[in-house]
Amino acid sequence: MHAEPVNQASDTVRRSMPAPVRWWQGWGPLLLAPWLVPLLAPGDWPRWAIMWLLAFMIFSGCKWLTWRRTPVRGQPMGRHLGYLFLWPGLDARRFLEPDRLPSPRPPGRAEWLAAVGKLTAGLVILFGFVRLLPTAYPSLIGWAGMLGIVMVLHFGLFHLLSCAWRSAGVEAKSLMHRPLAATSLADFWGRRWNTAFRDITHRFLFRPLTPLLGAAGAVLAGFTFSGLVHDAVISWPAGGGYGRPTAFFMLQGVGLLAERSRAGRAMGLGGGARGRLFTIALVLGPAGLLFHRPFVVGVVVPFLQAIGAVECRKIS
């Protein structure tokens, strides 16, 4: 006699649950959007504009993938739009499913001031320090400009967005978490440097590939994917240096496996002072592979000139 109410309740629960998604859903924009750049970009566009358009297309594809594969109901449209357009992170579950986690602790005044300070420091580097560098050294100008850009965006603006969202009760952890304090490659790439990219590669590459390739193979696949993405954004607009960013990230994957190996653990590469030195050597030593000269001089320096950070003269 109670079967009908029970069935009605079950139907109600099923209707309230998110519809399941298949493994292939959401990948279309990420796989297709970068190929639209040659079609959309005018032939006379500067290389730096191509670079930013490529980065935007790839990031938008990643953002769509994470949102499409995180079917959440019961959240206001504003929360979804905020994730898609006003947050650079790629952990849709954490952002859109507040019931899964305890409420975030609002940032204090010190954290707000730190974020503003990093943004200000980046602007000073971009529009002050860079101008003082000798124009006969374009690579030096480009590297200093990249430091300023990262300080403005990743450490400054993105941190301010994190503070704003957490003040509103949304779990939006800062994407940069004191990377200079990293004591291992796993610590640096997994928890401290641009965790947005780590979130998407861990969810959509490492975990699905581990049963097929093993943990080591999945790690190398994830870093290789990162390298290919950076090659597309860096080497393609620069018209040179192809394969170097991929080689950089593959080296990071090999280094991470080395520090986790029996010999690496015996040498103390996974933590402490030795781990910190090993991380610095592996990240900074081959950084020229990632940001190669064709990109630094042919893309970054013209961008700095375009935004007025460098005078448009005497850059050889």
CA atoms within 13 A on the CB side of 124: 7
Percent of the chain with pLDDT over 90: 77
Q: Which helix (H) or strand (E) holds 15?
A: helix 3-16
Angle ∠(233,235,237) on CA atoms, nearest 5: 70
> pLDDT for 264-277, tens place per residue?
999 999 999 999 99
> pLDDT for 217-261, tens place per residue?
999 999 999 999 999 999 999 999 999 999 999 999 999 999 999
pLDDT for residue 21: 63
Q: What is the pTM of this model?
A: 0.89
Closest Cα partner for 234 from 60, 52, 88, 101? 52
Of residues 2 and 267, more confidently modeled:
267
Look over the chain and give the mean of its residue pLDDT values, rounded to a whole number: 90
Q: Tell me: pLDDT of 153 over 70.
A: yes
Question: Domain spans of the chain?
Answer: 46-67+75-98+108-306
Rounded to an integer, what distance in angstroms lies between the CA atom of residue 223 and that of residue 218?
A: 9
> pLDDT for 5-28, tens place per residue?
444 444 433 443 445 566 668 899
Helices vs. strands in the chain: H and E counts, helices first: 19, 0
pLDDT for residue 25: 81
Q: Show the tokens assigned to 298.
A: 């042919």
pLDDT for residue 165: 95
pLDDT for residue 293: 97
Least confident of 72-76, 137-141, 152-156, 287-291: 72-76
pLDDT for residue 18: 47
Q: Tell me: pLDDT of 33 over 80.
A: yes
